[in-house]
Every structure is written in C-alpha cells, then in structure tokens.
Amino acid sequence: MAAKLMVGNWKMNGSLAANASLLSEVLAVMGGLTCRAAVCVPAPYLAQAQALLAGSALALGAQDVSAHEAGAYTGEVSADMLRDFAVRYCIVGHSERRQYHGESDVTVASKAQRALAAGITPIVCVGESLAERDAGQTEAVVKRQLAAVIHTNGHCISEIVVAYEPVWAIGTGLTATPEQAQHVHAVLRAQLQAATAHADRVSILYGGSMNAANAADLLAQPDVDGGLIGGAALKASEFLTMLKAASR
C-alpha cells in the first residue's frame, strides 16, 4: 500500500489572506513528511492555491465537480475546468452534498466518472446516518453507495479514493472508534477486492471528526489508509500534527 493520504476539506471557509497564511505554515513543514497530502479548497480559491502550491508536495483538490461535461448549467464547474487549475483530487458525494443538494448514488457515480475522464482522482464519500447505524444498516448503506460507483466506473475503479465518513460523526465532535472505522473499512476493502484485481491501489480514508487527538489511533488500523479532514484542516498546527502522525 502506498503512503498514507491526508486530505484537508476546507468546506465553505477561507479568504485570500487566511488561505495564504495557512498554506504558508503547512508548506514550511511539509518537506520533512512522508505521507501524501492535499487540500480541497472552495472553487474561487483554486487559482490562488494553484500558485501557492506549485512545485510543492501538497496537492490541490476541489470540493465538487459537475456530472455534466459542459453546457448550459449555470454555476456548475466541469472536470475540464478543474484540470486547467492542475487539480489532482476532487471530492464527490460528500454527505453534505447528498443531504443538502439531493445528490443520488447515480449522480455521485457520474461525477466520479467525469473526474476520472479528466485525469482527476475522485475521493468518493460513503457513510451512514445515525438512524441507519442504529438500525444495523451501516454495511448495506455504504456498500450500496460504493456499488453505484463501481457499476459506472468498473473498468477504472482502482483509480479512485474512497472516504468513509459516518454522517453522525461529521462536524459533531463524535468520532467512530478505531474499531468501528476498521470494521467498515474492511467491508469496503472486500467490496473493492471483489470488483478489481488492483484493489490494493485504492486508499480508503476515514472522514468523521478526525483531529489531532484521535488521528494516530485511527491511522493505526490496518485498513485506514489516511483521513479526510474537515475543521481541523483549517488550523495549521492541527493539520500538521495529523500529517506527522500519518508519516510514522
């Protein structure tokens, strides 16, 4: 398995000044780390981040991509547009997009397909709500969500990244225990192994209130290949603590 992959998701946060300060602090330390790392920034800041990250070990990511190639889709951003800014990763199917924007499994699969066609690695998010977990449906939910992406992108499914983000643990301060995370990651790993002979190429990240205090324990699990980090990625010291944990 490749080095751990740590991805900061800034969500709808940032400003030109704050972005420059944050990235400057992170880049000052990145050179001594062995993990892979990226930041997924709001679309208006892609040009700024591209310039600041040029030639560095910190990759640029986007937070969403259109399911359409081009056309009359006001407000949408296509995969080819993202490629123009040297975007390496793109989050698709984040629980906030599924919940607040009504994105279906089919839509998420199509977005992953657009990203892959443009040479961008989609970070495919899957995860269950608290009600679904309490009902014992965790495995069924995440397998259904991933199955849609496998169905649409089966020929190149080994080129994606998967992020398990239990909805009940996003921005709530609650975190899956290392054992809970490992269980679901193992389920996803088995599903990928059934779909491709190259499942070992797929990094499976944990994304649900990962922070500086719990990162090391989560990253120690055999099927946790990194993290998709929200609020903690907006604080250079916390983000760097997690990157160092992932580099051990």
CATH of the domain at 47: 3.20.20.70
Per-residue pLDDT of the chain (248 residues; tens, 9 = 90+): 689 999 999 999 999 999 999 999 999 998 889 999 999 999 999 999 999 999 999 999 999 999 999 999 999 999 999 999 999 999 999 999 999 999 999 999 999 999 999 999 999 999 999 999 999 999 999 999 999 999 999 989 999 999 999 998 887 877 889 999 999 999 999 999 999 999 999 999 999 889 999 999 999 999 999 999 999 999 999 999 999 999 99
Domain that holds residue 227: 5-246
Q: Which of 128, 165, 185, 238 is catalytic?
A: 165
> According to the 3-state scheme, what is the secondary structure of the chain?
CCCCEEEEECCCCCCHHHHHHHHHHHHHHHCCCCCEEEEEECHHHHHHHHHHHCCCCEEEEECCCCCCCCCCCCCCCCHHHHHHCCCCEEEECCHHHHHHCCCCHHHHHHHHHHHHHCCCEEEEEECCCHHHHHCCCHHHHHHHHHHHHHHHHHHHHHHCEEEECCHHHCCCCCCCCHHHHHHHHHHHHHHHHHHCCCHHHCCEEECCCCCCCCHHHHHCCCCCCEEEECHHHHCHHHHHHHHHHHCC
Has 198 been annotated as catalytic? no
Domain count, the chain: 1
Q: Which of 94, 128, 159, 185 is catalytic?
A: 94
